[in-house]
Amino acid sequence: MSKDSFYSIEIKLASKSGWSTPQEAAGIWKTPYSREGLTMHWWGDGSGANNHDNITNYFLGQAAAGNKSVNYVVSDNKITLMVSPDNIAWCSNNGNPTTISIEHQPTLGAEGYKKSGWLVDQLEERYGRLLSIYPHSKWIGTACPGSIDLNRIRVEANKWKTGVYTTPPPVVTPAPPTAPPAPTVQITYSVLPTPVKYIINKNTDLWNFNTATWAGFKSVKKMNQGEIYEVYAIVDNHSTKSQYGVTKYSFDKKITNGVNMKDLNQIPEQPTPTPPPVQVDPPKPPVTTVDKNVVIAFLEGLIASIKEFITKLKG
């Protein structure tokens, strides 16, 4: 098995309220944006891999509230992507613009270290260089990443890099081919928890990504900047180390067409406006109805009293 497809990566994308783009970094941090290294964290409560989903849900809530986020979560069980490594998660303080953050299970076992080393090797292949590995405590006074052994993660990454974990195929002497063999295409799909709407950030193409070489990509149709494109699943083309967003229609029909994820920006979630309170008019005072006969009787009595008073004065 190729090391690039050895593990699958679960995708749970965090809200844009909790991370920054490279373009936004210049206005937030004095340090220019780069992918120079990795900052390692732990979730620090002593729990095991069975707490992985609770941690990812916690970060989803924190990102939606605009507090913090992390690029990856790693445990003995799995690897979860929450913020693209090209973007800036809010987890490593002054190390945010220059490093990719990886949150680890505090009781990380042999399989977890193997997964973390694999992820480091994958990221170093993505960016074409060795990446420095830093503890969170480099950037701020904290006990994080606690007991996580950073040297062991580097050793595991080097094992992946040198092929220790991958068995080479047996050497077979084939018959002379009449034509060069077609390259093998390695493609994996990761279905998103819910479809996500993106906006196309430049004029680009809908590509047929079923090819192992860049020269083999074929344009299906032109896509214009500003168009809305809903991604149902993200495809990793391991041969070209590129990612493509596909619609539900393409996924269901097994059509290998998609837009390069670098040409898509996630549309930030819009808050639901709170309607104004309903205005209620104050109650009107009741209208009192006066009996006509009562008024007449009162006036007649008043007149009779006046006449009697006048008669007494004359007598």
Mean pLDDT for 67-87 is 97
Mean pLDDT for 151-156 is 98
Half-sphere exposure of 88 (CA within 13 A, CB side): 24
Closest listed residue to residue 70, CA positions, set 107, 50, 40, 31: 40
The pLDDT of residue 141 is above 90 = yes
Cα–chain center distance at 100: 15
What is the per-residue pLDDT across 90-137, written as a single tens digit (0 to 9) for each? 999 999 999 999 999 999 999 999 999 999 999 999 999 999 999 999
More confident residue, 290 or 244: 244
211: phi then psi, degrees, rounded to nearest 5: -150, 150
CA angle 258–25–131, rounded 5-degree value: 75
| pLDDT of amino acid 231 | 94
Which residues are 281's β-sheet partners? Answer: none
Residue carrying structure tokens 């009595």: 301
Q: Report the predicted TM-score, pTM, of the whole model to 2 decimal places.
A: 0.56
The pLDDT of residue 289 is above 60 = no
Averaged pLDDT score across all residues of the chain: 88
| pLDDT of amino acid 283 | 62
Q: How confident is the model at residue 174 (pLDDT cuts 50, 70, 90)?
A: low
Using CA atoms, how far residue 54 sits from 48, 99, 276, in Å, is 11, 24, 36
Q: How confident is the model at residue 243 (pLDDT cuts 50, 70, 90)?
A: very high
Lay out the sheet containing 204-208: strands in order across: 218-223, 204-208, 257-260, 242-246, 228-237, 187-200, 264-266
| pLDDT of amino acid 302 | 78
More confident residue, 15 or 267: 15
| pLDDT of amino acid 30 | 84
What is the per-residue pLDDT across 26-37, written as a single tens digit (0 to 9) for each? 889 888 999 999
Mean pLDDT for 67-90 is 97
The pLDDT of residue 180 is above 60 = no
Residue percentage of the chain with pLDDT more than 70: 86
Residue percentage of the chain with pLDDT more than 90: 69
Answer whether 254's CB lies under 8 Å from 189's CB.
Answer: no
Closest listed residue to residue 186, CA positions, set 212, 149, 216: 212
Q: How confident is the model at residue 186 (pLDDT cuts 50, 70, 90)?
A: confident
| pLDDT of amino acid 170 | 56
CA separation for the pair 235, 244 (Å, rounded) = 5
More confident residue, 118 or 188: 118
| pLDDT of amino acid 177 | 58
Q: How confident is the model at residue 270 (pLDDT cuts 50, 70, 90)?
A: low
| pLDDT of amino acid 181 | 62
More confident residue, 295 or 46: 46
Fold of 3-162: Lysozyme-like (3.40.80)
CA separation for the pair 122, 118 (Å, rounded) = 6
What is the per-residue pLDDT across 211-240, written as a single tens digit (0 to 9) for each? 999 999 999 999 999 999 999 999 999 989
Q: How confident is the model at residue 89 (pLDDT cuts 50, 70, 90)?
A: very high
CA separation for the pair 107, 154 (Å, rounded) = 18
Q: How confident is the model at residue 183 (pLDDT cuts 50, 70, 90)?
A: low
What is the per-residue pLDDT across 129-138, written as a single tens digit (0 to 9) for each? 999 999 999 9
